[in-house]
Structures are given as C-alpha cells and as structure tokens.
Amino acid sequence: MFAPEDVKKALEKAQHLVVFTGAGVSAESGVPTFRDALTGLWENFDPEALATPEAFAENPDFVWGWYEWRRKLLLEVQPNPAHIAIAELAKRVPKFTLITQNVDDLHERAGSTDVLHLHGSLFTPRCFDCGRSYEFTQAPTLTKEQRITPPQCEHCSGNIRPGVVWFGESLPEAEFKAAFEAVQSCDLLLSVGTSGMVYPAAQLPEIAAQNNATVVHINPQKMSAITRHGYSLQGAAGEILPLLI
Ligand code: BJW
Ligand code: ZN
C-alpha cells in the first residue's frame, strides 16, 4: 500500500483541498530548485544573496542576467506529471485552491486556473523606480558572459526588474489574503516540494494544521509532520501525485 489509509480517506472526503507548492514541483520539468547550487557566473553566490533589492540595485546586470537565464530555461521546459495531477485534482473536489511560491508558469500551462502566486512571476517585470509594468518584447537573448543590462523604463528611465518578491519585500496583498483564508477553511492541505524555509509562506501549512486540517507533505526528503493529522509521503511529486489520483 502506497499512501496511508488515512491520507486516502482524507482525499476522498475532502470538501476544500488546498495544494501548496514550492520549487520541487517543477524539479522534474528540469527547473533547478531555489536552493540547488547555482552554476555559471553565479556559482559562487547563494541564491538568497541574489534575490534581494539590494543585490539588484548594486549589480543590475548580474542579477538581471540570472533572471533572464531562468526565463529562457522556462520557455524550454514543459509541465510534468505533478503539475498535471494537480490540475486534475482540482476537478475532483468540491472546492480547490492552488497556492504556489513558484515564479514559473508551469501550473497554468498544465491547465490550473486561479493560481495564487505568493512570490510573483518571472513574466511580469516592472520598473524598479516607479513600479510601472513592462512588457517583454522579445525572448531572452543571453550573452556568453551572462551579464545582461536590464531594459529601461520608458517613463522614468529606471531599470526594469523581475516581477518577483525578493527578501524583505511584502507579498502581494490580495494573493496572500486569499491564501490565508483558504488554509483557515480547508480540511486537507498537500504541501508539495517546498523546504518550508521562507516566511510568511511557510506558515500556511502550520495554520491549516492549527485549524484541524490534515496536512500531507510530498517531498523526497522526510518532512516532519506538524500534528497528529500530519503525514510525510517521501518521494518525487511527479510519481506520488499521479498515484494519489
Ligand atoms: C522535490 C523534488 C521533487 C526536490 N518532488 N519535491 C519569520 C522568521 C524568519 C524570517 C522571516 C520571517 N518573516 C519574514 C522573514 C524574512 C524572509 C524569510 O523568510 N527568510 C528566511 C530565509 C528565514 N521573508 C521575506 O523576506 C518575505 N517578505 C516578508 O516577510 O515581508 C515582510 C517584511 C518586510 C520587510 C522586512 C521584513 C519582513 C519575502 C520572501 C520572498 C521569497 N522570495 C523567493 C525568491 C523569489 C524570486 C526568485 O525565484 O528568484 O522565493 S526566495 C525562494 O524561496 C523563492 C521560493 O519561492 C522560496 C521557497 O523555496 P522553495 O520553493 O521551498 O524551494 P527550495 O529550493 O527551498 O526547496 C525545494 C524543495 O523541493 C526541497 O525540500 C526538495 O527536497 C524538494 N524537491 N525535488 C518533490 N521531484
Ligand atoms: Zn519607471
């Protein structure tokens, strides 16, 4: 038997299922997780040191080059069986909420709708100075050296920055509010492919557990269960989620 009987039962009788995802859900598509070691020009850098407004202000070409490299990678990969299984799960429960920390668009490309992106998106750049949105007009063009000067805002000439949430920045208010409400009212939460290190997103499974929801972690690493209604299914999301369906 693959999943504990209690997990199967919780899925069968779930009235409001929340799926909360992190970088691990996209790993099997070939997207490195956030805390994987970096390669190329960035290999001696901790991603946490690059994902800050200070790093961008100090060295925009370096940071923008990293994000353009990631945007290019995303345009070359496809959703994997985990993304597809999550889109399928949505159709099988009375109420469903998908909350992701990911800045990719692989959930949407697998057919999920109304995805709550807590940490923004690689595809919604805006001006670092005035905040006006900017539209990409071309596919990422990478230089051999990998540093790329960001485009300039046509209103104020400020540097264009990625539309993601960096450390020290607030999460988008509407998305966070909707996510917070969902975890307070759900009866089952699947936490998929996240290290649970980054707050306030990491609180969400804890809040669901405090409100008596069953919380199931799906991760190749063993995750500690938060309450007695908590489970850790150890393995790759692309293998476990299709089995749950
Ligand atoms: C698989 C798999 C497979 C592999 N299948 N699984 C409270 C306490 C302490 C600190 C704070 C706190 N509150 C706020 C903070 C500060 C900070 C924070 O949390 N710091 C911690 C590091 C300690 N938080 C913030 O600054 C947040 N803002 C905020 O709180 O605003 C209020 C405020 C304002 C001013 C001052 C202070 C507070 C903002 C956080 C924004 C995070 N942004 C990033 C970068 C986005 C852009 C980008 O991508 O470059 O978001 S950080 C990064 O981490 C990214 C991710 O979304 C996020 C989470 O990472 P995730 O998804 O869990 O990935 P990994 O790599 O960590 O884990 C992958 C997992 O997958 C692993 O477990 C693998 O085992 C698993 N896996 N293969 C299933 N096949
Ligand atoms: Zn501007």
d(CA 125, CA 8): 41
Regarding pTM above 0.85, the answer is yes
142 pLDDT band, cuts 50/70/90, is: confident
Average pLDDT of the chain, as a whole number: 94
**Is residue 119 flagged as an active site residue?**
yes
Number of Cβ within 10 Å of residue 26's Cβ equals 27
Of the listed ligands, the closest to the CA of 46 is 1
Task: Give 189: exposed, middle or buried? Use CB within 10 Å, 0-12, 13-18, 19+.
Answer: buried
26 pLDDT above the threshold of 90: yes
Residue linked to tokens 């707050």: 199
47 upstream amide cis, omega within 30 of 0: no
Protein residue closest via CA to atom 33 of ligand 1: 168
**Percent of the chain surpassing pLDDT 70:** 97
Residue linked to tokens 């909360």: 20
Q: Of these residues, 83, 107, 117, 119, which one is catalytic?
A: 119
Of the listed ligands, the closest to the CA of 159 is 2
What average pLDDT score do residues 162-176 get? Answer: 98
Structure confidence at residue 17 (pLDDT): 98
Q: At what angle do helices 81-90 and 237-244 cross, to 10 degrees?
A: 30
Per DSSP, the residues of 187-225 read SEEEEES----STTTTHHHHHHHHTT-EEEEEESS----
- Does the beta carbon of 118 sit less than 6 angstroms from any atom of ligand 1? no
Angle (CA) 190-208-48 rounded to 5° is 70
- How many angstroms is it from 63 CA to the middle of ligand 1? 18
Protein residue closest via CA to atom 32 of ligand 1: 170
- How many angstroms is it from 5 CA to the middle of ligand 1? 31
CA distances for 203 relative to 41, 44, 59, 69, 243, angstroms:
33, 30, 32, 30, 27
* Test site for ligand 1: of 199, 203, 217, 218, most ligand atoms within 8 A of the Cβ: 199
Query: Where is average pLDDT lowest: 15-29, 60-74, 137-151?
Result: 137-151
Say whether 66 sits in a helix, a strand or coil: helix
d(CA 224, CA 130): 43
